[in-house]
Amino acid sequence: MDRLYIVVPCYNEEEVITETAARLKAKLEQLMFEGLVSDTSRILFVNDGSRDGTWQKITDLHAQCPLYSGVNLSRNRGHQNALLAGLMTARERCDVCISMDADLQDDIGTMDSMLQEYREGCDIVYGVRSERKTDTRLKRITAEGFYKFMRAMGVDTVYNHADYRLMSKRALDALGEYGEVNLYLRGMVPLVGFKSACVPYARGERFAGESKYPFKKMLALAFDGITSFSVKPIRLVTVLGAVIFGVSLIMILYFIIRNALGYTIEGWTTLACSIWAIGGIQILSLGVIGEYVGKIYHETKRRPRYIIESILDGRDTEAAL
């Protein structure tokens, strides 16, 4: 029977983690009772350098029940790195894992459908939002625009999918082969390949606390995704430069003709607008190129994406005995 690990990255989730743990425990016990997963399955919380009492709560949960496991990162490394740390820890212990956020917005009941797809031969199963009724109008517009823009930039992502997904051990092993430092798992996982499926679910309201992904972080995540998986921005800069160069040749010819015909009135507005436009485009282009150079700089240093300070897992204790 397959051993399931539910991977839950946490950052300052003190307010919600007790309820999250209780609901996940009930779900895991149901799956074990129905014979869908092994009784050695676990819930793996990953503490991403929280500044509140999150890790203490994870430690207490582990002491109370062996179904709870924990990974404590040495410092805050961001959601994507924390999630990867959990996945790579789980792959050494499980046959299949499901990752989800700690805020209880992902529908836990969808795990049954995910496991059904897994038993039918899928190595990756994506949880896809069927609707966005719980989002504000601004959030809905920006989120939908995010996925469309990513597709336009050539990044292969699953529409309306975040990080609620099932992955087999084989898929986890393949994901572990990717060594880039700048992580965007929503773009990396589809690159793994293997048979996949999508399972729709309705996302609920956050149980407690504040969202860890405000608009600023979502914008940063989108930019990381684009620059990590697509060179289209660089190509657009090249195309834009070619277009401006072509327009400049036309304007030079135009001014030569006007001068030959005796129309020598200076066009102050035209000159000022041209200087501002070209200057702005140059600065923007240098910024885009600089982002790529910065990513290359970080990749070449090959620094670790995360450092695990400690792991709480009953299976490790059993092995030591």
pLDDT (tens digit, 9 = 90+) per residue, 267-287? 655 665 667 667 667 766 776
Distances (CA, A) of 21 to 29, 68, 113, 315: 12, 8, 21, 19
Which of 159-173, 229-243, 251-265 shows the highest mean pLDDT? Answer: 159-173
Q: Looking at the chain, how many residues does it have?
A: 321
Task: State which residues form the domain around 275.
Answer: 232-301
Beta bridge partners of 199: 127
Q: Label residue 321 by pLDDT band (50, 70, 90).
A: very low
316 pLDDT above the threshold of 60? no
For residues 102 and 120, state if they share a domain.
yes
- Highest-confidence range of 64-73, 135-144, 183-192, 269-278, by mean pLDDT? 64-73
- Determine, yes or no, domain membership for 79: yes
Are 102 and 119 members of one domain?
Answer: yes
Both tokens of residue 308?
């695990």
What pLDDT band is residue 318 in, cutting at 50, 70 and 90? very low
Does some domain include residue 169? yes
More confident site: 269 or 184: 184
What does the pLDDT look like over 239-249, one tens digit per residue?
A: 777 777 677 66
In the chain, % of residues over pLDDT 90: 8
* 256/190 same-domain check: no
Specify if 32 maps to a domain.
Answer: yes
**39 vs 157, which has greater pLDDT?**
39
89: in domain: yes
Q: Is residue 209 located within the same domain as residue 245? A: no
In the predicted model, what is the mean pLDDT of residues 188-199? 84
Could you give the C-alpha distances from 57 to 24, 165, 302, in angstroms and in order?
15, 25, 33
Q: Find the mean pLDDT for residues 251-272.
A: 64
| Position 317 confidence tier, pLDDT thresholds 50, 70, 90 | very low
Mean per-residue pLDDT for 4-24? 89
In a domain, residue 200? The reply is yes
- Residue 157: predicted pLDDT: 72
Whether residue 223 is contained in a domain is answered as no
User: According to DSSP H, which parts of the chain are helical?
Assistant: 17-33, 54-64, 79-90, 111-119, 137-152, 169-175, 185-192, 215-229, 232-260, 268-301, 314-320
Task: Please check whether residue 226 lies inside any domain of the structure.
Answer: no
Of 318 and 199, more confident: 199
CATH number of the domain to which 127 belongs: 3.90.550.10
Do 268 and 288 lie in a common domain?
A: yes
Do 210 and 261 fall within a single domain? no
Is the same domain home to 123 and 159?
A: yes
Average pLDDT score over residue span 90-108: 87
Judge whether residue 252 has pLDDT over 90: no
Tell me the pLDDT tens digit for each residue of 209-229: 555 555 566 666 666 666 666
- List, in sequence order, every residue forming a beta bridge with 310; answer none if it has no partner: 72
- Total count of domains within the chain: 2
Which residue, 122, 163, 160, 183, is CA-closest to 6?
A: 163
Do 314 and 290 sit in the same domain of this protein?
no
Q: Are residues 202 and 260 in the same domain?
A: no
For residues 276 and 267, what is the distance between their CA atoms, to the nearest angstrom?
15
| Same structural domain, 11 and 96 | yes
Write phi, then psi, for 98 (nearest 5 degrees): -125, 125
In this prediction the pTM is 0.69
Query: Do 65 and 169 belong together in one domain?
Result: yes
Are 256 and 310 part of one and the same domain?
A: no
